[in-house]
Structure 1
Amino acid sequence: MLRGLLASLLLAGACADVAVKDDQGRTVSLKQPAQRIISLAPHLTEHLYAIGAGSRIVGATNYSDYPAAAKALPRVGGYNSFDLEKIRALKPDLIVAWPSGNPARQLEQIESLGIPVFYDEAQKLVQVPTVMERLGVLSGQEAGGKAAAAEFRSRLAKLEARYAGKKPVRMFYQVWDRPLMTINREQIISDVMHLCGAENVFANLPSLVPTVDEEAVITANPALIATSGEASNKVNWLDRWRRWPRLAATARQQLYILPPDLLSRMGPRLVDGAEALCQVVEQARQ
């Protein structure tokens, strides 16, 4: 009898509702931890693997390529276009999405199917580990979520302690080349810049990812210019600044290409990107 009672209690615990609030302030509630998850952004795929829920992913977007196991996941489309029929056929019990990078109309269609959706819209470094914790609850990997979040926070704290009070370095972060695009203070990379003691020269622009012209960059005269991606694809992006020898970043040879995806994805490797960015900021500071 006692054994049966314990079994019943364990079963009840396993089937208990799990619920968290997402970044749109909505409560996402499941009857039990998700067993079949579709990720609609590469950084969310990385989050799920980091917390130990990779085996529960049944579908992901085209650019979900990290870790290596993610390359074998069934594809449900790109950032801006999903195969709704394939999503339905995969029978997910949870979809994790990125409102800034996913089409609102298709997200509404997914919700109309009755599939629970968790929205991640982290805008600050301190919000990133909370995503791992909440996904840990929803996927039944609460311990893994807490452990991954703790590691992220620990590394972040070390960077904060190391670079606090350092002399600021005026910086231009180049998102795209033609048209020339950057970020304002609300974009999470700007938060990384602030952590490292870099001053975003376009922090006050109203758009999250504004378009600027070459003359505006020259007038701002940053001491450091950086972008991220494969060096073979981005070297010509920096060549345009070498044509301006009086530009402070050019004169001081402070033009950098950072490792791909580390800063552009709001996942667990963002702290790796922060470490890489802080290193080049420190070099420019010297």
Structure 2
Amino acid sequence: MAPAAWAGPVILDDLGQRVELATPARRVVPLYSGLGEIVSAMGLGDRLVARTNVDNWPAEALARPAIGTHMRPNMELMLGLKPDLVLQLAGRDAALQSVEAVRNHGIPVAVFVIDDFASLFAAMERIGILLGAKDAARQETARIQARLAAVDKAVEGVQRPAVFFEVRYPNLLAAGKDSMVSEIIRRAGGENVVAQGKKLVRLSEEVLVGLNPEVYLVQQGPMNPAPPHPSGRSHFRTLAAVRSGRVLMVDEALYSRPGPRSVQAVEELASFLHPDRFPKPSSNKDSK
């Protein structure tokens, strides 16, 4: 007799692991903030039972217990919450070590690789399956795709400026071509000036001066907590971006954490790079 088909939700994650649940997940622990934001964007935030130390969106996330960091969660705290699903973003070895530790306790874990909108949508679809919410996942994906399409139309045919994205300073760290940041820059009508095919690229200031970007983005957040403005850095004053004033301080949570709010970063950056394509509403009041 052939074995009975699995009745509950089943997916293959981005490590090729088969994730099987007896029933749709009800107690979810996201070990990466963007994955928790996906669940919240689907209208299922009440199924999240924990957060990492940096999670702060939506506001109700702050009411959940913090269980440590993306790479080093507190296993005792997590197990005490009795999750039936853990979500993790692939990346450094430490993050995958936490995955193995969770699996060793018999808890299903789904790991995702997200470095562009296509992989974001694929992750959303599978998270929707695991939560028994395929329609909610499709609807949120469609909303994001519509917003991206509007930006695509607005920036069609533009001259794309060379953009540098600062991840950390000092010990300069930049966003490389294989990052969600690079995808955001491209969709916003720019071109990442850093050509290396990595997510993060270490650069000397001399190399940066040679690249001479037309636009300079500085992220602010846990990875770059108090960056001085580039105009105040002696070696940066010769950069075309600094000389022209095309410097933008941005929120790390929007740009460097792949999730449903990545489209907001695209919209914000597109309006900065191409303000003529995104006219601001008139502030004039109607005369009476």
- Give 1:56 deviation, angstroms: 1.0
- Structural mapping, 1:197-236, within 5 Å: 197-203=189-195, 205-229=196-220, 234=226, 236=228
246 and 85 in structure 1: CA distance in 2 versus 1, 3 angstrom threshold: closer
Find the partner of 1:87 among 78, 82, 106. 78
- Give 1:44 deviation, angstroms: 1.0
Paired positions, count: 270
- Give 1:243 deviation, angstroms: 5.5
58 and 202 in structure 1: CA distance in 2 versus 1, 3 angstrom threshold: same
In structure 1, stretches of 5+ residues that fail to align are 1-14
78 and 235 in structure 1: CA distance in 2 versus 1, 3 angstrom threshold: closer
- The question of whether the paired residues in 1 share the 8 Å contact of 2:162 and 2:213 is answered with yes
- The question of whether the paired residues in 2 share the 8 Å contact of 1:182 and 1:212 is answered with yes
Tell me how far apart the structure 2 counterparts of residues 192 and 244 of structure 1 sit (CA, whole Å): 24
- Give 1:35 deviation, angstroms: 1.2
- Give 1:132 deviation, angstroms: 2.0
242 and 167 in structure 1: CA distance in 2 versus 1, 3 angstrom threshold: farther
Find the partner of 1:41 among 7, 14, 32. 32
Look up the SS of the partner of 1:236 in the other structure. coil
Tell me how far apart the structure 1 counterparts of residues 14 and 225 of structure 2 sit (CA, whole Å): 34
- Structural mapping, 1:96-245, within 5 Å: 96-100=87-91, 103-203=95-195, 205-229=196-220, 234=226, 236-241=228-233, 244-245=236-237
1:58 equivalent in structure 2: 49
| Matched residue type, 1:142 | K
Tell me how far apart the structure 1 counterparts of residues 191 and 217 of structure 2 sit (CA, whole Å): 13
Q: Which runs of 4+ in 1 moved over 3 A?
A: 232-235, 239-246
- Give 1:269 deviation, angstroms: 0.6
Find the partner of 1:72 among 53, 63, 80. 63
TM-score when scaled to structure 1?
A: 0.87
Q: % of aligned pairs identical?
A: 27
- Give 1:197 deviation, angstroms: 2.4
89 and 177 in structure 1: CA distance in 2 versus 1, 3 angstrom threshold: same
Tell me how far apart the structure 2 counterparts of residues 145 and 57 of structure 1 sit (CA, whole Å): 16
- Structural mapping, 1:258-269, within 5 Å: 258-269=250-261
Find the partner of 2:241 among 249, 253, 257. 249
In structure 2, stretches of 5+ residues that fail to align are 1-5, 278-288
- Give 1:126 deviation, angstroms: 2.2
Tell me how far apart the structure 2 counterparts of residues 242 and 235 of structure 1 sit (CA, whole Å): 14
Tell me how far apart the structure 2 counterparts of residues 180 and 243 of structure 1 sit (CA, whole Å): 12
Find the partner of 1:19 among 7, 10, 17. 10
- The question of whether the paired residues in 1 share the 8 Å contact of 2:231 and 2:242 is answered with no
- The question of whether the paired residues in 1 share the 8 Å contact of 2:28 and 2:86 is answered with yes
Look up the SS of the partner of 2:130 in the other structure. helix
Kindly indicate whether residue 274 of structure 2 is the aligned counterpart of residue 282 of structure 1.
yes
Root mean square deviation, CA, Å: 2.3
- The question of whether the paired residues in 1 share the 8 Å contact of 2:55 and 2:61 is answered with yes
- Give 1:62 deviation, angstroms: 1.2
| Matched residue type, 2:64 | L
Look up the SS of the partner of 1:103 in the other structure. helix
| Matched residue type, 1:108 | E
Look up the SS of the partner of 1:257 in the other structure. strand
2:23 equivalent in structure 1: 32
The worse-fitting range, judged by mean Cα deviation, of 262-271 and 251-260 is 251-260
Tell me how far apart the structure 2 counterparts of residues 272 and 265 of structure 1 sit (CA, whole Å): 12
| Matched residue type, 1:67 | P
